[in-house]
């Protein structure tokens, strides 16, 4: 199981949120007396591991199983299903219960929906004539702290659902999660939104406040001063680029899931043939906290320096007489040796990917696309990728970048690449291409691209970026400043108004509202980077901005926000909330759909 992250240094009391979620789950188990078999939806398993240790669930009489098509093997007479409201999972539950009935096994069944029950799911249970055998409840888990400044709604496919399926369920979920936060930390007075989904969430949030109000008079000064809501659709360019921060590259190549990477034990220097091990990655690891947001080429140097320094200390220990305090310092350094070994192994493993010519040529191509140069070279590069049958996700990722920066492809090129893709990867991928077209990520060119105007106006290409001593967020992509974070930077510094014309060139509407009797409190619009004493929370901490990404955020974007927050003259701490932490591949995969 992944390590439960340490939240002691969070800018707001995220630990209380986690404790509350833990308590609610334990209460469910306590209310079902005796031994019980807890059957967990596999997608929820990782999320739960960030909230509660499995040992605590076992202490409360729970045997743990993962839900799948196979019947549950247990001696327990009580079976508790903890599931998301998904139709395929209902079918599993029905088949389990029918199997028990056919074998004459008598059990009590409980179904707890996460985060809330759905009529369509209960209808299936009724049609299968098992609804009357079930006790049905809800486990309202809307938000999971992944780290001290990152929260996740764990909605994997929110981007595709919104853009392709026109399913707005996730938007209600996001608004509900934010409203729950407000009951703990006060009504958020300033709400800025950009994108169709974000403006909709802002509206739902206001409706929730009028129906179930947070008491502003009792709460005092709200701990979160401003919320900035941003659709992923507003900036699909950033996730399609290869991230160049340490954490970003770990996610790109090894895949970070629920705050951990899983890899062969041999990578970590442990000799167990074919055995996989999980390596937790969060702020509890001091060295990871120090290096996660740095450009990877800098991390390699940092690790080298630390290893050299340790070696020198060890040599000095053997050749000179040390005082007690010097010995103490050395032992302290030795304590950090496991962390150092871990990251040297991970860094070395990453280098095997980053030094490949294919990765370096891909970076060149991404840079060419983002700088909107040499259309023909990019077209030929993608054509060659298709003919070589490189992984489909890699091809689509570059194709999306190509389409967005050029506002689509000329009809002749569009039809040609579409045909070549289907010939090369199989006609079952026609559904995938339809999804990308429906979402606007892949389209025929109808108007001239406004990308050049946007990148110039927001200074997205930064020449001579110093990755070792950065002075701009562009260091996370070695010269490209993520569009999404530039927008957040403007929203924090001076609100939407000064960049109104640029916002109109980007997808979706934008809004800027003040809420609930706080119109006299200083908004971010009046800030201009200076800290007002009235913006401080009572105990002297900096006030907070909550940045919400609807459709996913990359690790590199989170690093850029941390960099912003750490800048001199920055008046705010920043917390990120997202539907899911994504990279270009995982985001593209949500649109992939095979027929047959």
Strands 144-147 and 134-138: unpaired
Q: Provide mean pLDDT across the span 274-279.
A: 84
Residue 221 binned pLDDT confidence (cut-offs 50, 70, 90): confident
**DSSP letter at 552?**
-
pLDDT, tens digit, 9 for 90 and up, residues 162-207: 999 988 989 999 999 999 999 999 999 999 999 999 999 999 999 9
Q: What own/partner pairs with CB < 8 Å and gap ≥ 24 does 277-284 have?
A: 278/1, 278/2, 279/342, 279/346, 280/2, 280/3, 281/247, 281/250, 281/256, 282/3, 282/5, 282/6, 282/146, 282/147, 283/5, 283/6, 283/9, 283/147, 283/148, 284/3, 284/5, 284/6
Q: Which residue in this structure is represented by tokens 């990520």? A: 441
Q: What is the pLDDT of residue 532?
A: 42
Over residues 370-383, mean pLDDT: 90
Helix ranges (H only) for 1-134 are 14-31, 42-49, 54-59, 87-102, 119-127
State mean pLDDT over 60-65: 91
Q: Check: CB of residue 144 under 8 Å from CB of residue 4.
A: no
Over residues 4-17, mean pLDDT: 91
Residue 319 or residue 531, greater confidence: 319
**Residue 570: is its pLDDT beyond 90?**
no
What is the length of the chain? 596
Question: Higher confidence at residue 139 or residue 283?
Answer: 139
Give the number of other CB atoms < 10 A from CB of residue 304. 12
Q: What are the φ/ψ torsions at residue 228 (nearest 5 degrees)?
A: -115, 115
Cα(496)–Cα(488) distance, integer angstroms: 9
Say if residue 425's pLDDT is above 80. Answer: yes
Whether 508 contacts 199, CB under 8 Å? yes
pLDDT at position 300 is 85
Q: What is the pLDDT of residue 538?
A: 44
CA 408/CA 401 separation, integer angstroms: 10
Query: How far is it, in rounded angstroms, from Cα 107 to Cα 79?
Result: 7
Higher pLDDT, 208 or 308: 208
**Residue range 388-410: average pLDDT?**
95
**Greatest extent of the chain over all pairs of C-alpha atoms, in Å:** 81
HSE-up (13 A, CA, CB side) for residue 520: 2
Q: Starting from the edge strand earliest in sequence, which strands make up the sheet with 62-66, in order?
A: 62-66, 36-40, 78-84, 108-114, 134-138
In this prediction, residue 310 carries a pLDDT of: 64
Identify whether the C-beta of residue 281 lies closer than 8 Å to the C-beta of residue 257.
no
pLDDT tens-place string over residues 20-50: 999 999 999 999 999 999 999 999 998 999 9
pLDDT digits (tens, 9 = 90+) for 505-531: 999 999 999 987 554 344 444 444 333
- pLDDT at position 2 is 44
- 3-state SS assignment for residue 576: strand
Q: Per-residue pLDDT averaged across 330-346, rounded?
A: 73
**Given pLDDT bands bounded at 50, 70 and 90, which one contains residue 596?**
low
Q: What is the pLDDT of residue 494?
A: 86
Q: Which of 403, 399, 396 is nearest to 429 (CA)?
A: 396
Determine the distance from the C-alpha atom of residue 41 to the mean position of all C-alpha atoms in its chain, rounded to a whole number: 20
Task: Please compute the mean of the pLDDT values over residues 346-364 and round it to a whole number.
Answer: 93
- In the three-class reduction of DSSP (H, G, I as helix; E, B as strand; rest coil), residue 141 is classed as coil
Q: What is the dihedral of CA 315, 319, 323, 329, to 10 degrees?
A: 0
**Residue 537 pLDDT grade (very low, low, confident, very high; cuts 50, 70, 90):** very low
Rounded Cα gap, residues 241 and 397, in angstroms: 8
Task: Assign 491 a pLDDT band (cuts: 50, 70, 90).
Answer: very high
Is 466 in contact with 297 (CB distance < 8 Å)?
Answer: no
Average predicted confidence (pLDDT) for the chain = 89
- Mean pLDDT, range 571-596, rounded to an integer: 91
Reference 573, options 523, 538, 537, 539; nearest CA is 537
Q: Is the pLDDT of residue 130 over 60?
A: yes
For 205-323, list the strands marked E by DSSP. Answer: 224-231, 256-257, 260-264, 276-280
CA distances for 402 relative to 112, 371, 497, 566, angstroms: 44, 11, 30, 33
Lowest mean pLDDT segment, chosen from 402-416, 464-478, 500-514, 528-542: 528-542
CB atoms within 10 A of CB 422: 15
pTM: 0.91
**Two tokens, residue 147:** 């780290």
Predicted confidence (pLDDT) at residue 1 exceeds the cutoff of 50: no
Residue 133 near residue 93 (C-beta atoms within 8 A): no
Query: What is the Cα–Cα distance from 375 to 445, expressed in whole angstroms?
Result: 13
User: If you average pLDDT over residues 539-563, what whole number do you get?
Assistant: 91
Share of residues in the chain with pLDDT > 70 (%):
89
Share of the chain above pLDDT 90, in %: 72
Residue reference for tokens 């939104």: 193
What does DSSP assign to residue 285?
Answer: S
Does an H or E element contain 422, and which? helix 411-425
Residue 569 pLDDT grade (very low, low, confident, very high; cuts 50, 70, 90)? confident
pLDDT of residue 217: 72
Residue 166: how many other CB atoms lie within 10 Å: 8
């Amino acid at each position: 199981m992944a390590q439960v992250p340490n939240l002691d240094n969070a800018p707001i009391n995220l630990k209380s949120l986690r404790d509350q979620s833990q308590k609610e789950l334990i209460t469910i188990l306590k209310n079902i007396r005796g031994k019980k078999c807890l059957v967990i939806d596999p997608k929820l398993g990782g999320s739960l591991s960030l909230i509660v240790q499995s040992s605590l669930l076992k202490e409360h009489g729970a045997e743990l199983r993962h839900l799948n098509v196979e019947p549950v093997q247990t001696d327990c007479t009580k079976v508790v299903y903890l599931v998301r409201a998904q139709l395929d999972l209902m079918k599993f539950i029905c088949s389990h219960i029918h199997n028990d009935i056919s074998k004459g096994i008598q059990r009590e069944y409980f179904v707890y929906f996460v985060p809330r029950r759905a009529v369509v799911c209960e209808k299936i249970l009724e049609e299968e004539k098992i609804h009357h055998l079930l006790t049905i409840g809800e486990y309202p888990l809307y938000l999971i702290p992944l780290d001290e400044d990152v929260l996740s709604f764990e909605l994997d496919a929110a981007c595709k659902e919104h853009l392709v399926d026109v399913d707005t369920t996730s938007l209600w979920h996001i608004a509900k999660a934010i409203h729950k936060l407000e009951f703990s930390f006060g009504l958020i007075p300033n709400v800025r939104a950009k994108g169709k989904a974000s403006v909709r969430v802002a509206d739902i949030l206001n409706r929730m406040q009028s129906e179930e109000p947070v008491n502003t008079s009792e709460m005092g000064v709200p701990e979160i001063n401003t919320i900035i809501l941003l659709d992923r659709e507003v900036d699909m360019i950033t996730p399609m680029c290869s991230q160049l921060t340490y954490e970003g590259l770990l996610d790109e190549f090894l895949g970070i899931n629920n705050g951990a990477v899983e890899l062969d034990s041999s990578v970590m220097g442990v000799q167990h043939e074919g055995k996989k091990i999980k390596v937790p990655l969060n702020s509890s690891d001091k060295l990871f906290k120090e290096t996660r947001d740095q450009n990877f080429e800098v991390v390699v140097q940092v690790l080298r320096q630390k290893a050299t320094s340790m070696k020198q200390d060890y040599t000095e220990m053997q050749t000179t007489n040390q005082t007690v305090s010097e010995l103490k310092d050395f032992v302290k350094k030795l304590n950090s040796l496991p962390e150092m070994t871990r990251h040297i192994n991970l860094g070395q493993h990453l280098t095997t990917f980053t030094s490949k010519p294919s990765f370096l040529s891909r970076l060149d191509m991404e840079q060419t696309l983002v700088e909107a140069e040499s259309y023909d070279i990019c077209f030929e590069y993608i054509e060659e990728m298709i003919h070589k049958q490189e992984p489909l996700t890699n091809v689509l990722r570059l194709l999306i970048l190509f389409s967005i920066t050029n506002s689509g492809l000329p009809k002749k090129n569009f039809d040609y690449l579409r045909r070549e893709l289907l010939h090369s990867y199989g006609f079952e991928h026609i559904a995938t291409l339809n999804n990308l077209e429906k979402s606007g990520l892949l389209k025929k060119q109808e108007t001239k691209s406004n990308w050049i105007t946007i990148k110039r106006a927001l200074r997205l290409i930064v020449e001579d970026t110093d990755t070792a001593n950065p002075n701009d967020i562009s260091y996370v992509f070695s010269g490209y400043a993520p569009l999404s974070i530039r927008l957040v930077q403007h929203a924090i510094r001076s609100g939407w108004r000064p960049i109104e014309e640029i916002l109109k060139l980007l997808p979706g509407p934008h809004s800027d509202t003040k809420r609930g009797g706080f119109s006299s409190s200083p908004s971010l619009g009046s800030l201009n980077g200076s800290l007002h004493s009235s913006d401080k929370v009572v105990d002297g901490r900096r006030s907070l901005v909550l940045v919400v990404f609807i459709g996913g955020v990359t690790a590199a974007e989170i690093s850029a926000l941390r960099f912003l927050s750490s800048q001199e003259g920055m008046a705010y701490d920043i917390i990120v909330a997202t539907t899911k932490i994504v990279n270009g591949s995982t985001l593209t995969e949500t649109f992939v759909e095979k027929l047959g």
